[in-house]
Amino acid sequence: MTTVVVIPGDGVGPEVTDQAVHVLATLGLGLDLDVLDQVNADRFLRTGVAMTDDEMERARSAGAVLFGAVGDPKVPDPSYARDVLLRLRFELDLYVNHRPAALLADRLSPLRDPALRALDCVVVRENTEGAYAGVGGVLREHTPYELALDGDISTAYGVTRVLEYAFAIARRSVCLVDKANAVPFGGGLWQRRWSEVSAAHPDVGTSHLYVDAAAMRLIQNPTAFDVIVTNNSYGDILSDVTAALAGGPGTAASANLNPRHGVGLFEPVHGSAPDIAGTGRANPVGSVLSAALLLDHLGHGAEADALRAAVRATVAAGTCTPDLGGESSTKEVGAAITAEVG
């Protein structure tokens, strides 16, 4: 039996994850759920523990992790999110953050021109290096002369493997996004690895954009993109842009993967949304679509497709949370998706 570790986390995390778990349960795939509901900001505040080694090992030995969100206004300390989410990404070596975005319903596009709305792309975000690596330090802290340094790490090994993933999933083309005009060393490394890996895939179209231009181009013509490959920080930002173009922050899903080994981590792109937590209005679609990616990962492609179709049908029928212009609650949307799947 395949074990799925569930980490609901904070804020709207448990609210949306509950719905994804319900939908998964109705599929009758015999998944064994191991819910780590102690991984949250309250325990961190009480004990200083973000995630125990035992919890980490349970995630490591699972088939997949379904993750909600971490973050709480009561915990300004960035080590909390780092010690949960980034620890999972880094220690499980989940070097790909695969963030697909496809327009969920025409009326949800923020774009004026209908011809340009049909976004259907994947942001492939490098997920274990870059400015997230935690390399750096601070000098003369709490003085007017304070100096802080966060190293932006790129390795040939790390860049090559994420570029190879981007080409492996491309349907038409891959666009490299960087800032090599201003960030010379890492930019140069990405450019050199790009030349080599793209030359090995002559059948795939290629383009290159600096990240500022890429952000603009995504808004001007999202249909121009198939796969976007980029570093950790730019991928974080651009995948919020693509989420907004596809339907909004409540709709975007992601898969944190290492295609060379077993466990993957699946989570909505959004955070704990403290502004709406506890109101019953959080959109569960991003979490449910993340569960679909989890099913793909576990080899249940037909069920994953059924889940995606059920989400589209539910949105098309107007059963939506307020962020999508509806009046339904998180639970009502979850129930409607479950009914569609059933």
Question: What's the CA dihedral at 271, 275, 277, 280 to 10 degrees?
Answer: -120
Does the annotation count 132 as an active-site position?
yes
Does the annotation count 331 as an active-site position?
no
Report in angstroms how near the CB of residue 136 gets to ligand NAD at its nearest.
Answer: 19
| Nearest in space to 84 (alpha carbons), one of 66, 69, 99 | 69
Q: Looking at residues 254 to 273 of the shown chain, list those that interact with ligand IPM (rule: CB under 6 A).
A: 269, 271
Quick note: the x/- pattern for ligand NAD over 282-311, rule CB under 6 A, is: xx--x-------------------------
Does the annotation count 42 as an active-site position?
no
Considering beta carbons, is residue 97 or 154 the nearer one to Mn ion?
97
β-strand partners of 59 = none
236 binds ligand IPM (CB under 6 A): yes
Does the annotation count 179 as an active-site position?
yes
Report in angstroms how near the CB of residue 102 gets to ligand IPM at its nearest.
Answer: 18
What is the distance between the alpha carbons of residues 232 and 280, in angstroms, rounded to a whole number?
Answer: 32
Host H or E run for residue 255 = strand 253-257
Residue 174 sits at φ, ψ, to 5 deg, of: -125, 135
What is the distance between the alpha carbons of residues 233 and 166, in angstroms, rounded to a whole number?
Answer: 17
CA angle 286, 289, 291 (to 5 degrees): 110
What is the distance between the alpha carbons of residues 71 and 137, in angstroms, rounded to a whole number?
Answer: 23
Burial 52-85 (b: 16+ CB within 10 A, else e): eeebbebbeebbbbbbbbbbbeebeeeebbbbbb
Q: Which of 55, 236, 296, 340 binds Mn ion (CB under 5 A)?
A: 236
Interacting stretch for Mn ion, rule CB under 5 A, among 70-78, 89-97, 177-185, 233-241?
233-241
Quick note: the x/- pattern for ligand NAD over 36-75, rule CB under 6 A, is: ---------------------------------xxx----
Does the annotation count 240 as an active-site position?
yes
Which residues bind to Mn ion, rule: CB under 5 A? 236
Residues annotated as catalytic (active site), given as ranges: 132, 179, 212, 236, 240
List residues near ligand NAD by CB under 6 A. Answer: 12, 16, 69-71, 81, 85, 249-250, 267, 270-276, 282-283, 286, 321, 323
Which chain residues interact with ligand IPM by CB under 6 A?
A: 71, 81, 85, 236, 269, 271
